[in-house]
Structure 1
C-alpha cells in the first residue's frame, strides 16, 4: 500500500499538463539520481507505513484495525474518485477544449457532482456492499480493500477505464470465500454478474441508437 501511494500521480505536483508522484517529487527534492530516487523513496515510504501500522498494532490491536480500515476506506474512495470522475468528464474534454475551459475546472465540476451523488445513492449502496454479498468483519474488510485499492490505482496509472463496482464486489466475495464461505450470497452475485453483462450490452445498443437519432436531428 505504501509503495502504491508513493507512486500515485498528482497534477498539483507536476508541471502544467503533467502529473508527478510523491516519490518522484521527494527524490528530486533530495537531489537523488534519476532512476534510483523514485524506487528509494518508494521503499522508504513503504517501510514508514509498515512500521507505523506495526507499532499501532502493538499498542492496541482492535483500535489499529479500525484505524487501518478507516485509512484504507479513504484510499479506496480516493481511487474511486480518480476512476469515476475521469469516466464522467472524459466525453466533455473534446467539447470544452474548443472554448478554452481548463481541465482543472472540469475536474472540480466532476468532483462536486460525485460528492452530490454520494448523498443520494450512497446509503443504499453502502448497505448492499456491507451486507448483501458476504458477512464482513475487520479482517475480511481489509482483505477486500487492499486489492481494490491496488487494482484501481493500477488501472488509473495505465489509463484503463475499469469498473470500480466490479473490483470491490469481486474482492468482497473473494474475501468471504477465503474466510470459509462466510455468508457469501451466490444468488446475489449471480444477479449482479447478469446485471454487469446486461449493462454492457445495453450501453452498446443504446449508445449506437442514440447517436443514430442525434445524427438525424443535427
Structure 2
C-alpha cells in the first residue's frame, strides 16, 4: 500500500519539485497539493493522507497554524519543510505538533526517507539541529518536574520512554530490554496514549521537561 502524501507550499515550482521527488517511488503517492494552510486543511480532510509536507511561510494561513489545527487529527503525520534552518521555527513546529522538520535544500533521498520514517511512526529532525534544539526547548519550556502523568506509566513503559529519549529505535530498545520489537511497539503506543502525546519527538521533549532525562545526559540523538 502506498504512502499517501499531500504537499503544501505557496510556490508552484516548489510543489512541482517535491512531486517529482516522489514520482519514481513505488511506495509513495502524492494525492494532493495546496498553496496555503487553509487549502492544506481541506486537502487533508478530503484526501486522508498519511503524511503532510508543509511549508511554514504561506499566505492566509501559515504552516504552523495549519499544523496546530491538525494536532488532534489521527492518521496524518506532519513534516514541516522550509528554507530556514532556524531553531525558533523548529521549536514552534514541534510545539504545533509536527513530527518532522526538514530544510528545502535536503537531498531527494533524505526527503523520501523522512516521509517513510514518519509514515511508520518514527520522528525525524535534521540531525544538525537536534541536540541544540532539545537543550533550547527545555530551557524555554515551563518546568513539569513531578508531572503526575509519569505515575500512570508502568515500569516497562517508563523504560521504553527512557529508550526513546536516548535516541534508540524500537529495535534498539527491544535488544536493550530483551523484548520482541512488536512488544516494544505496543509499549510505545500505550505510553504515548497515556501521556497524551502524538509522536516520539513529543515523548523526548516530555522526558526532558519532566526531569526524567537531563539535557546533555542521554546518549544518541532523538531523530531516529
Which category describes the TM-score, using the shorter chain as reference length? under 0.3
Return the structure number with greater helix share.
1
Relative to the length of structure 2, the TM-score reads: 0.26
Return the structure number with greater strand share.
2
Relative to the length of structure 1, the TM-score reads: 0.27
